[in-house]
Structure 1
Amino acid sequence: MNDSERTKNWYGQVAANYSSDQRKNWYGDVAEAYNKVRPRYPQTLIDRAIAVAQLPPGATILELGCGPGIATVPFARSGFSMVCLEPSQVYQPLTKVYQSQAPSLVAEREDRATQERILQGLTQDIADSGLFRTAVCEHLPCKMTYSIDDYLMLLNTFSPYKMLDPSERDSVFTSLREVLERLGEGVQVCYLSAFHIAEKI
């Protein structure tokens, strides 16, 4: 099974096992953690997305699934009006923090090559949908060092961990903490920060 098929299979399992209300509120129980430890987008990536999308100054951006405003803030600081929709009620109080920046604010370990293939697969899926003229994806490699507490909090925001039974998840985190504490005080995470832009037909 290739990466794109594995990703589609995972989404299919989630769709089959969780109601639309459960999916809408998927990250709701970890909203504070998500806001605290999820990495922010590098300004270089934000600038590149603006250039590729050919957004004129002051354009209005519709952001679907804005969560706590991780992408909202850098776009708003770049002078864009933001119309942000968030289906999860839990995030709505968090998003109010960003109103000064955006007044209209309403599994397996993957290496870099795998992440790049997944991003390319998503780009191809967008192009193959027949709903868009063009689909562009760009990414930027990033690194971040977390304290052990923040790293475990970060993991708690990822779907594979959220899908675990709570007692199983606690056991995994306890074991991870023991190993990480023996190895040092921090955990370096490497990831790709990416954007997709598609022109609607």
Structure 2
Amino acid sequence: MYDQVRPGYPEALFDDVVSLSEITPDGRILEIGCGTGQATVPFARRGYRILCIELGKNLATVAQKNLAAYPQVEVRNIAFEDWVTQENAFDLVISATAFHWLDPSIAYKKTALALRYEGAIALFWNEHVYSDASNGFFEEVQELYQTLAPQLVKDDEPPLREQEVPNKTSEIEQTGLFGEVVYRSYRWDATYNSASYLNLLNTYSGHLNLDHITKARFFHAIAELINTKFNGQITKGYLTTLYVAHVL
């Protein structure tokens, strides 16, 4: 389910990572928090050797299945903090919508140690942003959160405008471990019917932890809103942000 409904990443991003990082065709990649391998496959298809670190046992199992066709890719089920750093072993370190879960005081240092001379870090995230095509759905659904699942209000605030998405450039540069950060962003939309949107919500930890009765009522109300007022489908806006920097 997670692998089917979670948004992927624009193909242009992977081309930009390769170009900006200057990784050679025989380069080696370390991926932190590979999840089910959504961001891994595009690099694996390009022939790169990849070591994936994934904390979640179930996610790592799915990733291993998704990446079975690529023998040059290894998935290890371990926390990045517990992984014994292979120093100067990688040309590129990537992390897709995962790096923010780590303690930055640990994560950046371990990343820098793992990189070879002139190696690069590439961090990217999918952020939910406002889209004209949503036709006010995300503003209207707030009423359902407030009345049926108030404990989740903080998890589904109205979407940000593109210019409101926090920029992580200074965080990376202030570590003193990396050079100038190159920033790229990619704006795109995804369309969901009521069933696929509920499946997406069901991959979020807060929604998963709702008790059975609350979830049933809440999800039914969301589906009814989509089907009756939004003609059976809604559009969600995404901004994918990318940060690439070379190790000093």
TM-score band by shorter chain is 0.7 to 0.9
Paired residues for 1:59-138 under 5 Å: 59-97=27-65, 98-101=67-70, 103-106=72-75, 107-114=156-163, 117-118=165-166, 120=167, 122-138=168-184
Alignment correspondent of 2:18:
50
Q: Which SS does the other structure have where 1:105 is aligned?
A: strand
The letter of the residue matching 1:99 is A
Q: 1:172 to 1:39 in 2, by over 3 A?
A: same
> What is the TM-score of this pair, normalised by structure 2?
0.60
The letter of the residue matching 2:199 is M
Contact 1:145 1:187 in 2 (8 A): yes
> What is the TM-score of this pair, normalised by structure 1?
0.72
Q: 1:199 to 1:184 in 2, by over 3 A?
A: same
Contact 2:48 2:72 in 1 (8 A): no
Alignment correspondent of 2:2:
34
Alignment RMSD (CA, Å): 2.2
**Is the aligned partner of 1:145 residue 2:191?**
yes
Structure 2 residue runs of 5 or longer lacking an equivalent are 76-155
Structure 2 CA distance for aligned equivalents of residues 102 and 147 of structure 1: 36
Structure 1 residue runs of 5 or longer lacking an equivalent are 1-32
Contact 2:34 2:54 in 1 (8 A): yes
Contact 2:162 2:239 in 1 (8 A): no
Structure 1 CA distance for aligned equivalents of residues 43 and 220 of structure 2: 38
Number of equivalent positions: 166
Contact 1:72 1:102 in 2 (8 A): no
Paired residues for 1:3-22 under 5 Å: none
Q: Which entry has the higher C-alpha Rg, 1 or 2? A: 2
User: Could you give the per-residue CA deviations for residues 24-81 of structure 1, whole angstroms, max 9, x where no partner exists?
Assistant: xxxxxxxxx2201112212111101111111111211100100100000001112211
Alignment correspondent of 2:142:
none
Structure 1 CA distance for aligned equivalents of residues 247 and 58 of structure 2: 30
